[in-house]
Amino acid sequence: MSKKAKEVVEAAPKFHQPWQGFLSFSVVVILAYVTYTWFLHPVWGLLTRMATSNAFVAYSVMSSIYPQFGSFALLASINNPNLTTVYPLGYLENWVSFFVFCIVWFVAIALLARPFTPPTSRLRKQPWGGLLILVLSMIFAFITWYILGVVFHWKAVEMALLGTVGFLVFPIWVTLFGYWPFVPKRAGTHAMVRGAIYITLSWVFTFLLNWIIENRVWSNSMGVAFTQYLLGNPLSALTPLEPYYFWISILLSIIVANTAISQLNLMPTMTQPMRGLVSFILGIVLGLIIWGIVTLAVGPSYQTVPLSPIAVPALPSPPFPAVFSVADFSPIASFPYINHGAVAAFLAFPLVTLLFGNLTFGMWPWARWGKWGNLIWVIMAFIIGTIVFFIMMVWPGWANTITGANIVNPASGLMTLELVPWAVGILLFQALGAIPAPFIPVATMVVVSYFFTGASTVILMEGTAAVLGTSLLASWILTVLIFYLLAYEGFEHWPMK
């Protein structure tokens, strides 16, 4: 076989669509989930396992401020950027921000700089090319993360916001502007030089936009960060990132819109930079429309914590039959607010669906029908993403099981602490028979108080576990899964292709 014939054979795909897409999809999901399980799992993850121990510390802090809200320690210990003093690098936000930087640096290295060109370079041969891009992306992400977080003491949520801005800015040169102005005006410019210029400009725009957003987060004292962290706000433990989720949800909406527009391939005859500018403006408008629709459909929520009959011990018999009804306990943990974290969680699913359909499946089978096929695919991606969102987050709600959030409570010891009022109440109830008649009304009030406290904390414990599960799943999809999905493109679907 001649050298040319051998190259043709090696370049031919081993699997055709959709089998190549399914295999690539499986590889990405498995690698991402293994990474989450080994390193980020809140109970035994190598990087976050101490967060469960800190739940007791957070419980003590919360109980001293809000005795009835002690179970919020479950979220506060893992999901609150203001309670990271005990173990500053072991919380979910720290590693969310790291993986967002991984996404940004992958785009910078693999798409903007393309360091292993020309294609004849040995480093371009797989899997070495993909492996080097993967490693370099993680190294540069760690350096960025370490400098901002450890040296300059940025909070993890601030770094996550910066990374999300970068996720919006960095790909624009490729997806919307088609490497303009180097292509076609200076097509002979070396990829490293071109990439260095794009990367520098992207970081300048990213820090500038992030600075504007940060000023908006902290400038208005009503309804944003200032009120969110006041001691008088009972939602601060349940929604510690709400001011940032507000802006992150808007950015994600624009990212989703830009991704959809790049796949629709609008205005193919329009020259750059006009095509990129029009597409970007259209992406902003479409993104804001998507954000408004999703906010109205998903965002408004009452954080109603469901009462689980299995989790609540058997209630005592009369004289307290009406006091401990489900109707009395259910509203205890209901807080009406616009949940922009839920908006961000929803947007993760159509975004990942769009990326998988384009990168792993090559727009199969819609690409064969041209622009109308692209439009059908974008619509289908939103439908598929919405269905998966409801299966994972709403009904039947597999997020708790998939993320392991359902075992954080017993592993942290909070479940034992929460059930103490029940034990004390039962002992007092049993002791009522030995109390003289004149003191029974007072004793009854004490018993009711203990049972009420026990029931409310158990209900809150169940609800915070459910919120934690959805938070973990959304964070995993938006960071680890998308990073591995993009990084697998650096391997050019090796060894499936």
Distances (CA, A) of 257 to 189, 247, 261, 282: 31, 15, 6, 8
What is the model's pLDDT at position 135?
92
CA distance 493 to 142: 25
In a shared domain, residues 201 and 224: no
pLDDT of 458 over the 80 cut: no
Domain boundary among 207, 232, 249: 207
18-64 confidence digits (pLDDT tens): 888 888 899 899 999 999 998 888 778 877 765 666 666 767 776 67
CA distance 61 to 71: 11
In a shared domain, residues 160 and 230: no
Q: Is residue 451 part of a domain?
A: no
In a shared domain, residues 249 and 354: yes
What is the model's pLDDT at position 246?
84
pLDDT of 9 over the 90 cut: no
Q: Is residue 247 part of a domain?
A: yes
What is the model's pLDDT at position 218?
60
* H/E run at residue 105: helix 92-106
What is the model's pLDDT at position 45?
82
Residues listed for the chain: 497
3-state secondary structure of 494: coil
In a shared domain, residues 154 and 118: yes
In a shared domain, residues 143 and 189: yes
Q: Is residue 124 part of a domain?
A: yes
221-264 confidence digits (pLDDT tens): 444 554 444 444 445 545 556 778 888 999 999 999 999 999 99
81-107 confidence digits (pLDDT tens): 444 444 455 566 678 889 999 999 999
pLDDT of 408 over the 60 cut: yes
What is the model's pLDDT at position 113?
86
What is the model's pLDDT at position 83?
45
Q: Is residue 359 part of a domain?
A: yes
The answer to which of 45-49, 335-339, 380-384 has the lowest mean pLDDT is 335-339
pLDDT of 163 over the 80 cut: yes
**Domain carrying residue 203:** 91-207
CA distance 243 to 55: 23
How many domains does the chain contain in total? 2
Of the candidates 481, 490, 415, the one whose C-alpha atom is nearest the C-alpha of residue 32 is 481
In a shared domain, residues 122 and 203: yes
Distances (CA, A) of 217 to 226, 228, 243: 9, 11, 6
In a shared domain, residues 245 and 286: yes
What is the model's pLDDT at position 449?
60
Do residues 40 and 95 lie in contact, with contact meaning Cβ atoms separated by under 8 Å?
A: yes
What is the model's pLDDT at position 124?
65
Angle at the Cα of 448 from the Cα atoms of 445 and 451, rounded to 5 degrees? 150
Domain boundary among 328, 360, 395: 395
With the C-alpha atoms ordered 233, 469, 21, 135, is the resulting torsion angle positive or negative? positive
In a shared domain, residues 364 and 389: yes
- Return the structure tokens found at 49: 């396992």
CA distance 476 to 96: 8
3-state secondary structure of 19: helix
pLDDT of 131 over the 60 cut: yes
The structure's pTM equals 0.81
Domain boundary among 395, 415, 438: 395
What is the model's pLDDT at position 471?
80
Give the CA count within 13 Å in the CB-facing half-sphere of 184: 2
The answer to which of 67-76, 92-101, 130-139, 300-309 has the lowest mean pLDDT is 300-309
Paired strand residues for 338: 300
Q: Is residue 312 part of a domain?
A: no
pLDDT of 423 over the 70 cut: no
Confidence of residue 425 (pLDDT cuts 50, 70, 90): low
With the C-alpha atoms ordered 212, 341, 79, 477, is the resulting torsion angle positive or negative? negative
In a shared domain, residues 235 and 370: yes
Mean of the pLDDT values across residues 437-453?
Answer: 57
In a shared domain, residues 245 and 355: yes
Q: Is residue 39 part of a domain?
A: no
Higher per-residue pLDDT: 258 or 339: 258
Higher per-residue pLDDT: 409 or 239: 409
Confidence of residue 210 (pLDDT cuts 50, 70, 90): very high
Q: Is residue 389 part of a domain?
A: yes
Place of tokens 């010891």: 413
Alpha helices for 223-273 (secondary structure H): 225-228, 242-264
User: Mean pLDDT score of the chain, rounded to an integer?
Assistant: 75
In a shared domain, residues 168 and 266: no
Q: Is residue 445 part of a domain?
A: no
pLDDT of 126 over the 80 cut: no
What is the model's pLDDT at position 387?
94
In a shared domain, residues 251 and 121: no
DSSP assignment, residue 320?
-
267-322 confidence digits (pLDDT tens): 888 888 999 999 999 999 999 999 999 988 775 554 443 333 333 444 444 444 33
